[in-house]
Structure 1
Amino acid sequence: MSTHIPQRPSAGSPAKIAPRRFPTPGRRSTGHLLIVTGLLGLLAVGSAFSWMFYAQQQQLAALHLEQRTLQDSHAELERRRQETADRLDARTSELRERTEELDASRSQARSLTSDRDVALAAGRAAREATQRLAARALTQWSSLAPQLKTDPALCRDVWSHAQELAVAQGLDGTAAAEALKRLPASRTLPPGTRVTVLGLKRDAESWLMDVAVTGPRGELIGGLRRADFEVNHGERRLHAVTVSETNRSSGRVDIALLLDGSSSTTGAANEALKAAAIPFVEQLANPSRLKLWRFADTVEPLTPWTFDPDVHAAAIRTLTAKGGTPLYQAIRTAAEELRGRPGSRAIVLFTDGNDSSRQDSVDAVLTLCRQAEIPVHVVALQSRETNVDVLQRIASTTGGTYHAAAHPEQLIDEFQALARSFQRPVYQLRIDERLDVSPLTVRVGGLPAVSIPVETRQP
């Protein structure tokens, strides 16, 4: 088969148009097949190129995703790096500030150390000077102590300050502590206690003031000491004051003294009774008038009514012990005789047992004493026969007192205690200081101060 190749016209020659030839049927099928084959090849090549393009697009998308992930990771790392850098900067700034503060503190410490050395040196010098002054003060107070004995309250104040000073200055405060222990403590009296000035008079260079202290129930209070009194003259406290207690008779009293002479009081009891009863009558007789009875099988008077203590003492020395105990009959005998006597009256009864005569009853004699207003003061020597309940009833019902001695040797103390109840304790205050017209006040037992009246009266 020959192929026709058209000729390119030369320049300047007119173009010639070749005649069109149509393929024959056999040629047409072959051409179509070639075209189809070419198209299929092109399609296959296109598909291959399309798949390759798709694959490349997927790879590019994956690369883009990985790139974005890397970019996000890089951004997060950058953010964390920046935060870490900021924290490091803040920490560095804080450390720098603390370093500056530490440097300032060190500088201040060096300055304070220098100042401390100076202060310590000044403190040591001041302490040494204070200790010298404190030691001198303690010595002066020790020498002053004998002059302060008339005012225990002032002594207590001085020695308390001395002890505090010794403790504060590291000195020996033993003397002050021992002196405080030896000082008597003041007594606190109950509310309602009354202070009465009985007299104020001049005695040479001193002043004498008599004071009586009465309790809330009207009883006279004894046993007070200098530490219980505080005397002031205007605004000035008086220190040179001494206090002494004396017993003065409360007035004339007719006393019937009934002594148990039964057989149970033989031996030591009888001798102890004599030893106790004689000082009792010597102390009360004059201005009081006494009459003495002994009761055994009977009630017999041993002395008449008299102020003479020697008469009663002689009768007491003759006491013997024998017979029974007509206790109630003795009380009735004394009460009937006292009932018709004027003035103050009292019965003092000593016994160690119980009524054995049965000639009278306790209710009857108690009624008689109450009606006659005669108190019965009982001194009991305790024994197996002592009826304590009845004796206490006799004393309490009649307004008397009850005194019990467990042993004969104690009778002296009980009779003395009874004798004091018939007397009036009076305190005499000697003031050895100059006084002017300023008022005097006295404070007793921690009670409020009481003004002392100018006028005086006898006790």
Structure 2
Amino acid sequence: MRRGGRSIGIVGALVVIGGFLSLGIALAHAREETQARRVRPGHRPAPPDSERPPLPPRQEPPPVSSSEVISLHSDLVLVTVNVLGPRGEWLTGLGPEDFEILEDGVPQRIAFFSGEAGLPLRLVVLVDTSLSVKGRLEFEKQAIVRFFRSVMRPRDLAALIAISTEAILRQGFTEDVAQLVTAVRGLKAEGATALYDAVVMAAEFLASVEGRRAIVLLSDGRDTVSRATLGQALRRVQEVGATVYAINVEEPISANVRELIGETALELLARQTGGEVFSPAQLEELDPIFARVTEQLRTQYVLGFYSTNEARDGAFRRLTVRVKREGVIARAREGYYAPRR
């Protein structure tokens, strides 16, 4: 009986030990599974695909104003517009319902609107400082200083580039008028004229900032040493959507005759971008011209649309901006380059 009882006891002990081993293995597997499911603090594991909600359908964004906090999508095409009234005045107080935009003749829906200089100004002033302007540079500098003091408002940024044998950045973007004035006063006449290179440099700087982009150019329009061509300079300005205001500071050959090549270059840069060319007969006219440029910059509208042409082919697309009022003229850039893939 003792042997039988002892055998039964041994068997029972083995059963108990086996049970503990099985329980330990099960707990170990459970612990490993729990650790495998752990995620870092603050993160939630992604649900299975079958439990994820479907993506919402793409919707066309509603029109927004500049007073709202928005994120400008890279495909949003912005067009700066000035509206000239029947008496030659710059019209203000218009709304998005007063405008229509056509791209290659196809109407586009206005998805963004900013009225009367609602967006901050991003301005680059280019000054020809080649030896050919030495006799009149000091007078020009005084007029530019007065222009900076009158045109700059809170949140605006401006920069200064000198046009000589190469384009030279004299002052990067700043809202400090005193820094701009100091940079202007330090300009000196020297070297040749890399006009087109300077225009390209201005466009590159403007591409890095959001806002109403504008270039004010004081030059006779003649280029002597640029690596870039006029066509390349114009394209880069069109790509960033900047408006060019050109002041032809060349001394007229006679009362009604100017150097044709330079004037044609300035006219092309301004007309294609929605700007204007000014040709003062004498230096004393610079202040009234700068006042007119300031007025245009302060009465600009900015319209934005998402093109119905979804091709990303880099092609040039012609723009037409109209105002739904009699006797008024909308001045805007003539087109833009579509994005590439």
Instruction: Return the TM-score normalized by structure 1.
Output: 0.38
Residues 1:405 and 2:280 aligned together? yes
The SS at the match of 2:171 is coil
Q: In structure 2, what is the equivalent of residue 284 of structure 1? A: 151
Give the CA deviation at 1:408.
1.8
Residues 1:220 and 2:90 aligned together? yes
Change (3 A) 1:422 1:323: same
Change (3 A) 1:419 1:250: farther
Q: In structure 2, what is the equivalent of residue 315 of structure 1? A: 183
Give the CA deviation at 1:332.
0.3
The SS at the match of 2:286 is helix
Match 2:165 to one of 277, 283, 297 = 297
What is the alpha-carbon distance in structure 1 between the residues aligned to residue 232 and residue 292 of structure 2? Answer: 29
Q: In structure 1, what is the equivalent of residue 141 of structure 2? A: 274
- State the identity as a percent: 28
The SS at the match of 2:214 is strand
Alignment check: 8 A CA contact 1:325 1:353 kept: no
1:78-133 superposed Cα distances (whole Å, 9 cap, x missing partner): xxxxxxxxxxxxxxxxxxxxxxxxxxxxxxxxxxxxxxxxxxxxxxxxxxxxxxxx
Alignment of 1:349-364 (within 5 A): 349-364=217-232
Report the AA paired with residue 166 of structure 2. Answer: T
1:29-69 superposed Cα distances (whole Å, 9 cap, x missing partner): xxxxxxxxxxxxxxxxxxxxxxxxxxxxxxxxxxxxxxxxx
Match 2:298 to one of 419, 423, 438 = 423
Alignment check: 8 A CA contact 1:264 1:352 kept: no
1:302-346 superposed Cα distances (whole Å, 9 cap, x missing partner): 112111111111111111111111000000011012113212111
The SS at the match of 2:124 is strand
Residues 1:366 and 2:234 aligned together? yes
What is the alpha-carbon distance in structure 2 between the residues aligned to residue 282 and residue 250 of structure 1? Answer: 19
The SS at the match of 2:201 is helix
Give the CA deviation at 1:250.
5.0
Match 1:337 to one of 205, 216, 219 = 205
Higher normalized strand content (fraction of residues): 2
4+ residue stretches of structure 1 with deviation over 6 A? none
Q: In structure 2, what is the equivalent of residue 346 of structure 1? A: 214
Q: In structure 1, what is the equivalent of residue 123 of structure 2? A: 255
Q: In structure 1, what is the equivalent of residue 101 of structure 2? A: none
Give the CA deviation at 1:371.
2.0
Alignment check: 8 A CA contact 1:265 1:352 kept: no
What is the alpha-carbon distance in structure 2 between the residues aligned to residue 273 and residue 324 of structure 1? Answer: 18
Alignment check: 8 A CA contact 1:272 1:412 kept: no
Report the AA paired with residue 171 of structure 2. Answer: T
What is the alpha-carbon distance in structure 1 between the residues aligned to residue 216 and residue 295 of structure 2? Answer: 13
What is the alpha-carbon distance in structure 2 between the residues aligned to residue 393 and residue 214 of structure 1? Answer: 20
Give the CA deviation at 1:372.
1.8
Give the CA deviation at 1:400.
1.4
Report the AA paired with residue 220 of structure 1. Answer: W
Change (3 A) 1:309 1:416: same
Higher normalized helix content (fraction of residues): 1
What is the alpha-carbon distance in structure 1 between the residues aligned to residue 162 and residue 133 of structure 2? Answer: 12
The SS at the match of 2:203 is helix
What is the alpha-carbon distance in structure 1 between the residues aligned to residue 227 and residue 274 of structure 2? Answer: 24
Give ranges in structure 2 of 5+ residues lacking alignment. Answer: 1-82, 93-115, 254-258, 301-326, 328-341
Report the AA paired with residue 390 of structure 1. Answer: A
What is the alpha-carbon distance in structure 1 between the residues aligned to residue 232 and residue 171 of structure 2? Answer: 26
1:221-253 superposed Cα distances (whole Å, 9 cap, x missing partner): 49xxxxxxxxxxxxxxxxxxxxxxxxx865411
> How many residues were matched structurally?
188
What CA RMSD, in Å, does the superposition of the two structures yield over aligned residues? 2.7
Give the CA deviation at 1:367.
1.3
Give the CA deviation at 1:424.
3.5
Alignment check: 8 A CA contact 1:276 1:412 kept: yes
Residues 1:306 and 2:174 aligned together? yes
Residues 1:396 and 2:271 aligned together? yes
Give the CA deviation at 1:378.
0.5
Give the CA deviation at 1:381.
1.0
What is the alpha-carbon distance in structure 1 between the residues aligned to residue 146 and residue 119 of structure 2? Answer: 19
The SS at the match of 1:294 is strand
Q: Which has the higher contact order (CA 8 A, sep 6+)?
A: 2
Alignment of 1:201-212 (within 5 A): none
Q: In structure 2, what is the equivalent of residue 325 of structure 1? A: 193
Change (3 A) 1:353 1:402: closer
Give the CA deviation at 1:220.
2.6
What is the alpha-carbon distance in structure 2 between the residues aligned to residue 337 and residue 330 of structure 1? Answer: 11
Report the AA paired with residue 275 of structure 1. Answer: Q
Residues 1:414 and 2:289 aligned together? yes
1:390-447 superposed Cα distances (whole Å, 9 cap, x missing partner): 111111012211111122222222122111111239xxxxxxxxxxxxxxxxxxxxx9
Change (3 A) 1:357 1:421: same
Change (3 A) 1:321 1:299: same
What is the alpha-carbon distance in structure 2 between the residues aligned to residue 214 and residue 278 of structure 1? Answer: 27
Alignment of 1:118-157 (within 5 A): none
